[in-house]
Structure 1
Amino acid sequence: MAGEFKAFLLRGNVVDLAVAVVIGGAFGKIVTSLVNDLLMPVLGLLLGGVNFAELKYVIAEGTETMEEAAIRYGAFLQSVLDFVLIGLAIFLAVKAMNSFKRKQEEAPAPAEPPKQEVLLEEIRDLLKKKA
């Protein structure tokens, strides 16, 4: 049982999946920071100083015993923008990798010399050995 588990963990696709999850999490943090720290402040400034994270529609005001009930559509808009940017970045990365792979596959193989040249070279080498 332990041997099967070890074989399962060390299979290429399981390790690849684990690496993808870790890299994806780190990449998601980078894109979230890009959106929250760079894009949204600029977009908010262009729209008159609006902070998207604080955009909300209040359904019921808060009281001493109850918190405010609100639809926080600003946070939702930020999440949608995060998703779109992550999708775009992954699309561009995959497209670049496919382009690179295609160029490698299309690269011409080194040309082999004609058979006559190969035979003549072998004859020359044999004659050098005899001399």
Structure 2
Amino acid sequence: MGFIQEFKDFAMRGNVVDLAVGIIIGGAFGKVVTALVDGVLMPPIGLLIGGVNFDQLAFELRAATAESAAVSLNYGAFLQTIVDFVIIAFSIFVVIKALNSLKRKSEEAPKAPPVPSKEEVLLGEIRDLLKERG
């Protein structure tokens, strides 16, 4: 088997394709959550705590001089990233919890008792006849 054919077989295997789709959807979902946090959630929170724009929250370690730029710890962007992470993690938790719940329901479904084989039926009849004879 040639190298290219082996690569095609590998790339078209179900797990690889599923993983690629999951990564693409995850990236898109991350962008949606970031837009939600940046544009919808953080502005009202900033307004509630005094009109603060979280992107601009920073501790200035050294002021800018003519020779060098300011040095600061930009913790506002970090806070927004933490909120993004919490929302994404919670969303994934809810989806996995729902999938596990569906999986458990299908596993808990009562199974029909196995149909006895011909030998088992015959042995049962012999047992019953022997009981009757006493």
TM-score range, shorter chain: 0.7 to 0.9
Code of the residue aligned with 1:56 in structure 2: it is: A
In structure 2, the partner of 1:43 is 45
Which one of 60, 63, 67 corresponds to residue 62 of structure 2?
A: 60
Q: Distance in 2 between matches of 1:9 and 1:77?
A: 39
* 2:50 partner SS: coil
Q: Is residue 83 of structure 2 the alignment partner of residue 81 of structure 1?
A: yes
Which structure 2 residue ranges, 5 or more long, are not aligned? 113-134
Q: CA deviation at 1:109?
A: 6.6
Q: For each residue in 1:2-58, what CA deviation from the matched residue of structure 2 results, as whole angstroms up to 9, or x when unmatched?
A: 111011101111111111110010010011111111111111111111111110000
Q: Distance in 2 between matches of 1:65 and 1:26?
A: 42
**How many residue pairs end up in the alignment?**
112
In structure 1, the partner of 2:93 is 91
Which structure 1 residue ranges, 5 or more long, are not aligned? 111-131
Q: Distance in 2 between matches of 1:41 and 1:93?
A: 27
* 1:67 partner SS: coil
Which one of 16, 19, 29 corresponds to residue 17 of structure 1?
A: 19
In structure 2, the partner of 1:121 is none
Q: CA deviation at 1:105?
A: 3.7
Code of the residue aligned with 1:30 in structure 2: it is: V
TM-score normalised to structure 2 length: 0.75
Q: Distance in 2 between matches of 1:64 and 1:100?
A: 64
In structure 1, the partner of 2:31 is 29
TM-score normalised to structure 1 length: 0.77
The percentage of aligned residue pairs carrying the same residue is 55
Q: Distance in 2 between matches of 1:107 and 1:64?
A: 74
* 1:64 partner SS: coil
